[in-house]
């Protein structure tokens, strides 16, 4: 995200300033003309509304002003200098700038090779009066120099204390005392519809405040397609978040920190009403460990997770559509050692209700290796209590929490499946331990496509029953009565997940 931020900030610096000046002049001319002509009359003008009529709005204004004045001093601008490899990033960056603007960026892309200097803008939040600041990892990633601009306009050099790529959080520190630190909130108490304010430096414009609501909670990680091990539980908000807001504060109506602004979902790369923030429960846990140890160890179980939904609950004999569904258990993992099995539904973890897979994943990721974990699960409709010991997440080496002839079946599901030959395994990099039928083709607009099934995926189970070949897979699918959904366990790119498919009629 820092790269897109850099591009947009650069464009604003070169073109935004003249446009802003022109806009200011135009606005000034309008005001000047209005002063001389349009609004010269005072006797017959429309009278303003009285205080009683606007009491609710002015009360809201006063509340927002109070929150803003309390929080703004604790939010900083973070300017980063980093080295990037031209052959890896420079040409790609140049392609993202419109052709008519590229002549203004002669230092980017082209035929240059080797490291180049890149400047980025982000935000940060002061979390202690002695200078500790939390921001996003992607803001300071690869930084050779970090400069922090405080609310009082002081510019201080910051040191990177520690980063956590898994959660995309980082802690930096400036040499200063008696700084205005933000108050910690409780993201677990947030409700959709609550007012929130986003603070930061969009496009490098420091001291910016936007207002919105909590649009949704417990959203999947927006970057999970890059690494499914990254924990979710994100806060979604319609408070405007733009490039440069990364690392800034999302606060509640009391001015308490409830999240760190991190991502936007937008085709244009700018505000489109869907911003995402890391919940403060995770932010506080990670930042405290980074300050204490300079690094962080995440809890690890070795499972892939799905949500229990109204569509798949019946297949697991669950009466309510809540819980974390165990889609896969890694061999020789803490989960397998503790007796957790594929198809189990986790309902409680250490006495806390588990509503979804992402909520369970976030809870485990915040636990320390060696901690005891008591799980209340439902297995084939029967309650069961399991006691596990949380392991240590090892980046790169472990898949943490979230890893013949063709036979036609295009009538009901819209897929062609085949046996797992050696050539197929090599082509799609399917491990020998994965059994089932490989998906060779998916019909456009079919139920299989709706369930996000793709060629190269492997159907491992049909309605909770393991399958070992294409013919066995088709036999199980055809055995499902008309009008009934089919639950498939699908292995895809190293991870297994349950997919509920609504078949076409025969």
Angle, nearest 10°, between helix axes 357-365 and 280-293? 20
Q: Name 458's Cβ contacts closer than 8 Å, sequence gap at least 6.
A: 420, 430, 434, 436, 437, 438, 439, 490, 491, 492
Residue 167 in contact with residue 87, Cβ under 8 Å? no
168 is catalytic: yes
Residue 413 in contact with residue 447, Cβ under 8 Å? yes
Separation between Cα atoms, residue 356 and residue 313, nearest integer Å: 13
336 is catalytic: no
Task: Give the pairing type, strands 406-409 and 391-392.
Answer: unpaired
Task: Give the pairing type, strands 415-419 and 406-409.
Answer: antiparallel
Largest CA distance in the chain: 90
Separation between Cα atoms, residue 336 and residue 395, nearest integer Å: 19
Separation between Cα atoms, residue 274 and residue 321, nearest integer Å: 26
> 447-477: b or e for each residue (b if 16 or more CB lie within 10 Å)?
bbbebebeebbbbbbbbeeebebbebbbebb
Give alpha helix (H) positions in 327-469: 334-337, 357-365, 422-428, 447-450
Question: What's the full length of the chain, in residues?
Answer: 506
The catalytically annotated residue of 7, 123, 138, 215 is 138
138 is catalytic: yes
**Secondary structure (DSSP) of 407-447:** EEETTTT-EEEEE--HHHHHHHT--TT--SEEEEEE-TTSH
The catalytically annotated residue of 123, 201, 246, 333 is 246
The catalytically annotated residue of 7, 123, 168, 358 is 168
Separation between Cα atoms, residue 23 and residue 73, nearest integer Å: 29
Which token pair is 291? 């300050």
Residue 118 in contact with residue 145, Cβ under 8 Å? no
Separation between Cα atoms, residue 308 and residue 15, nearest integer Å: 50
Neighbouring C-beta atoms of residue 478, cutoff 10 Å: 13
Residue numbers annotated as active site? 138, 168, 246
């Amino acid at each position: 995200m820092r790269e897109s931020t850099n591009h947009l900030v650069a464009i604003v610096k070169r073109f935004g300033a003249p446009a802003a000046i022109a806009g200011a002049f135009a606005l000034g001319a309008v005001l000047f003309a209005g002063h001389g002509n349009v609004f010269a009359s005072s006797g017959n003008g429309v009278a303003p509304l009285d205080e009683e009529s606007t009491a609710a709005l002015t009360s809201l204004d006063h509340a927002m002003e109070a929150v803003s004045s309390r929080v703004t001093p604790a939010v900083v601008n973070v300017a980063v200098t980093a080295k990037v490899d031209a052959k890896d990033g420079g040409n790609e960056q140049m392609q993202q700038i419109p052709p008519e603007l590229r002549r203004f960026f002669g230092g980017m892309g082209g035929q240059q090779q080797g490291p180049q200097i890149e400047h980025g803008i982000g935000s940060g939040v002061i979390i202690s009066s002695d200078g500790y600041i939390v921001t996003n990892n992607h803001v300071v990633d690869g930084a050779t120099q970090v400069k922090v601009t405080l609310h009082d306009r002081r510019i201080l050099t910051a040191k990177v204390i520690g980063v956590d790529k898994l959660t995309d959080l980082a802690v930096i520190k400036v040499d200063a005392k008696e700084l205005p630190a933000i108050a910690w909130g409780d993201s677990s108490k947030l409700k959709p519809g609550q007012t929130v304010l986003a603070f930061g430096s969009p496009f490098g414009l420091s001291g910016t405040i936007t207002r919105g609501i909590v649009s949704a909670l417990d959203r999947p990680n927006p970057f999970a397609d890059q690494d499914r091990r990254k924990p979710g539980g994100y806060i979604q908000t319609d408070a405007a978040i733009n490039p440069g807001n990364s690392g800034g504060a999302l606060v509640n109506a009391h001015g308490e920190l409830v999240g760190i602004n991190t991502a936007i979902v937008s085709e244009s790369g700018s505000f489109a009403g869907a911003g995402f923030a890391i919940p403060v429960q995770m932010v506080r846990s990670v930042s405290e460990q980074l300050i204490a140890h300079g690094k962080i160890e995440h809890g690890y179980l070795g499972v892939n997770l799905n949500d229990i939904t109204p569509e798949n609950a019946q297949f697991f004999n669950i009466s309510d559509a809540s819980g974390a569904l165990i889609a896969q258990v890694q061999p020789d993992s803490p989960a397998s050692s503790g007796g957790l099995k594929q198809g189990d539904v986790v309902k409680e973890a250490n006495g806390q209700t588990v509503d979804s897979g992402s909520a369970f994943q976030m809870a485990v990721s915040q636990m320390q290796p060696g901690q005891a974990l008591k799980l209340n699960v439902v297995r084939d409709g029967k309650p069961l209590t399991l006691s596990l010991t949380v392991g240590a997440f090892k980046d790169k080496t472990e898949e943490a929490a979230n890893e013949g002839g063709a036979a036609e079946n295009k009538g009901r599901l819209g897929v062609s499946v085949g046996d797992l030959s050696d050539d197929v395994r090599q082509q799609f990099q399917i491990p020998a331990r994965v059994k089932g039928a490989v998906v060779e083709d998916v019909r456009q607009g079919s139920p299989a496509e709706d369930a996000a099934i793709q060629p190269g995926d492997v159907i491992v189970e049909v309605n909770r029953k393991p399958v070992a070949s294409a013919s066995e897979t088709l036999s199980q699918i055809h055995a499902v009565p008309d009008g009934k959904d089919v639950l498939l366990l699908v292995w895809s790119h190293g991870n297994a997940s349950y997919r509920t498919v609504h078949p076409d009629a025969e």
